[in-house]
Amino acid sequence: MNKKRVIVAMSGGVDSSVAALLLKNQGYDVIGMTLRLWSSDEDSEVGEVHNKRCCSVEDVEDARNVCDVLGIPHYFVNFEKEFQEHVVNYFVREYDSGRTPHPCLACNDKIKFDFLLRRAMFLEADYIATGHYARLDRSSSGVKLLRGIDSGKDQSYVLFTLNQPELQKLLFPVGEYTKKEIRELALDGGLPVADKPDSQEICFIPSGNYREFLQERIKARPGSFVDTSGKVLGEHPGIQFFTVGQRRRLGLKNNGLEPKFVLKIDNQTNEITLGDESELYRKRFSFKNLSLTHESYRTEAIDVFARIRYKAEESQATAIFNEDSGIVEFKEPQRAITPGQPVVFYRGEELLGGGIIENVLDDGPKIELSKMLSSV
C-alpha cells in the first residue's frame, strides 16, 4: 500500500518541525519545503534582530537540519515575487489608505494555501501541512475548521479564508497539542530547534519599525487631527502612521486634559478624528471579502461569536450576509473596531468564516434585516 504523501511548509521553527515529526511517525511520506519569501541586507547580519525574523538564511539551515534528523527530503522554493505582490504590496497599500492590514492573513491565503498548494499538487502530494495551531474535523459532510487545543496559541483566526477544496488537502498536526507539549516532542525527537525562540515581529520588518518601512516606500499623506465636531487639534505627518485605538505617539500636547485616541482615519481628507476612549466602543460595522468554510453556512443572518482582532475575546453578535459582504452587530460594544482587520465568526469550537472590516457604522436603534442588507 502506497503511503500518503504530504508536503510540510517548514519555516525552521519548532512548530513546523514537530509537524513533520508527527506526520512521519504517523506513517506519511513526508517532504519538507522551505519558502523563500523575503530577503534584505539584514540576511548578512547576526544578533537580536536576526533572531526575531523568519525567512532568514539561518531558518533555512534549521529546516534543512531538521529534515536531516528526520531522514526526509528537503526542498527550497522561491516565492519572493509572489510574496512581494500579495503580501508586502498589500501591506503598504492598506496603510496608504488609512487602514490596518493583517499581513499573516494575506500570507496564509495567497502564499501557503494557494501557491504552495499548487506546487504540492505538482509534486503529486496528497496533502500539505503547516505548523498552525488549529484542528480539522473530517466527516462525510465535509471538513470543519476548529480552534487549536492551546487557547493561548490558537491560530484559527488567520485561517478563515480556507474553503472546502483547500481544507480537504490540509493537515494541522500541532493543533492537537499545547505549545509546551510541542517543545517536549521536539526535545524527545532530537530536533535541533527544540529551544528556538518563536518569531515575534512581522517577518519582513524584523526591527518592528513599520513607520520606517512605510516611509521608504510611500509618500506621506499629512493632514489634520480633528475632534468629533471637526475642530482642528493639530497636524499629523501622515495617515499611514496611525491606527484606530492608538493613543501614543500622536505628537499632541494634552495640557493636562484626558488622553486622546484615534477614532477614525479619513483617506479622502487625510483627517484623523481623535476622541475619548469611551468613544472607541461601538457595536456595528460593515465587512467585505466574506469567506465561509462551508457554503451551507451562507444564510441571511446568523448568530455567532465574533472576534475582531487576533488577541481579542469573542463576543456575541449577529452577522448579516449579502453575497461577499455583510454587517455585524455585537450584543455589547467592542473597543477599537479597526478597518482592514479581519472579523471571524465562531460557533463553539468551530470557525465558520469571516471577512475584512470595512466601515464602522453608527449604532443607533436596531436596524431591520432588509435595511441592513440594502446598506451593504
At 278-322, the pLDDT tens digits run 999 999 999 999 999 999 898 889 999 999 998 888 999 999 999
- The total number of residues shown for the chain amounts to 376
Q: Which helix (H) or strand (E) holds 284?
A: strand 281-292
106 and 180, same domain (yes or no)? yes
Tell me phi and psi for residue 304, to 5 degrees.
Answer: -140, 175
155 and 22, same domain (yes or no)? yes
Chosen domain end from 250, 275, 300: 275
Res. 357 pLDDT band, cuts 50 70 90: very high
* Catalytic residue selected from 54, 55, 67, 203: 203
pLDDT of 30 strictly over 60: yes
Q: Report the CATH number that the domain containing residue 101 is assigned in CATH.
A: 3.40.50.620
Tell me phi and psi for residue 186, to 5 degrees.
Answer: -65, -40
CA 44 – CA 192 distance, rounded (Å): 22
Res. 368 pLDDT band, cuts 50 70 90: low
Q: Report the CATH number that the domain containing residue 254 is assigned in CATH.
A: 2.30.30.280
Residues whose CB falls within 8 Å of the CB of residue 181, separated by 6 or more in sequence, listed in order:
none
| pLDDT of 123 | 86
Q: Is residue 331 part of a domain?
A: yes
Q: Is residue 234 part of a domain?
A: yes
| pLDDT tens-place string over residues 101-119 | 999 889 888 888 888 888 8
pLDDT of 200 strictly over 90: no
C-alpha cell at 12: 525552521
* Catalytic residue selected from 54, 55, 67, 107: 107
Chosen domain end from 245, 275, 305: 275
pTM over 0.85: yes
Q: What is the mean pLDDT of residues 311-338?
A: 94
Give the number of domains in the chain. Answer: 3
| pLDDT of 374 | 55
57 and 184, same domain (yes or no)? yes
Chosen domain end from 231, 249, 275: 275
266 and 344, same domain (yes or no)? no
Q: What share of the chain is helix, strand, coil (3-state, %, to 5)?
A: 30, 30, 40
266 and 336, same domain (yes or no)? no
pLDDT of 245 strictly over 50: yes
Under 8 Å between Cβ of 107 and 83: yes
Res. 202 pLDDT band, cuts 50 70 90: confident
| Residue type at 28 in one-letter notation | Y
| pLDDT of 265 | 97
Residue 203 a catalytic site member? yes
Res. 50 pLDDT band, cuts 50 70 90: very low
Under 8 Å between Cβ of 351 and 344: yes
C-alpha cell at 341: 482587520
359 and 257, same domain (yes or no)? no
Residue 54 a catalytic site member? no
Q: What is the mean pLDDT of residues 172-187?
A: 98
| pLDDT tens-place string over residues 140-172 | 999 999 999 999 999 999 999 999 999 999 999
| pLDDT of 45 | 44
Domain of residue 45 covers 5-188
| pLDDT of 42 | 47
Res. 46 pLDDT band, cuts 50 70 90: very low
CA 146 – CA 160 distance, rounded (Å): 11
Q: Is residue 315 part of a domain?
A: yes
| Torsion, CA 338, CA 339, CA 344, CA 345, rounded to 10 | 90
Of the two residues 250 and 63, the one the predictor is more confident about is 63
Query: Which has the minimum average pLDDT: 209-223, 248-262, 290-304, 307-321?
Result: 248-262
165 and 16, same domain (yes or no)? yes
pLDDT of 352 strictly over 80: yes
Q: Is residue 211 part of a domain?
A: no
238 and 370, same domain (yes or no)? no
| pLDDT of 287 | 98
| pLDDT of 323 | 87
pLDDT of 49 strictly over 60: no
127 and 260, same domain (yes or no)? no
What is the overall mean pLDDT for the chain? 90
CA 193 – CA 191 distance, rounded (Å): 6
Res. 63 pLDDT band, cuts 50 70 90: very high
20 and 159, same domain (yes or no)? yes
44 and 88, same domain (yes or no)? yes
Q: What is the mean pLDDT of residues 178-200?
A: 94
C-alpha cell at 257: 486634559
